[in-house]
Amino acid sequence: MLNKITKKDLAEALVEKYGYTKKEANEVVTFLFEEIAADLQKGLVTDISGFGKFVVKVRKARSGINPATGQTIEISESRVPAFRPAKALKELIK
């Protein structure tokens, strides 16, 4: 079952539950995601208690194959965002 939730949906939930204005709710949601992104950009871990951790993983350099030509290519090291769910979240979805 796929249920897509957007930043707009989160902001609307804040409006309904806490009585924020739409503008305030959008600012709160945007602020939250910008802070997480800024921390990841700095290589920091964002830990939201009971929910999980947003971390940066480093993928080592490796060899790969170009599917179009079949040639071996070198793929450089890269940093990617990752999420590690908290135990409470894992238990909730079981």
Ordered by where they begin, the domains of the chain are 1-44 (4.10.520.10), 45-94 (4.10.520.10)
pLDDT tens for each residue of the chain, 94 residues long: 678 999 999 999 999 999 999 999 999 999 999 999 999 999 999 999 999 999 999 999 999 999 999 999 999 999 999 999 999 999 998 8
Q: Which residues pair with 68 in a beta bridge?
A: none
* Total Cβ atoms within 10 A of residue 53: 14
| Sheet with 78-85, edge to edge strand ranges | 46-48, 52-59, 78-85
> Token pair of 28, please?
């709160």
Closest listed residue to residue 55, CA positions, set 86, 30, 76, 26: 86
Q: How far is CA 79 from CA 36, 47, 88, in A?
A: 15, 18, 27
pTM (predicted TM-score): 0.79
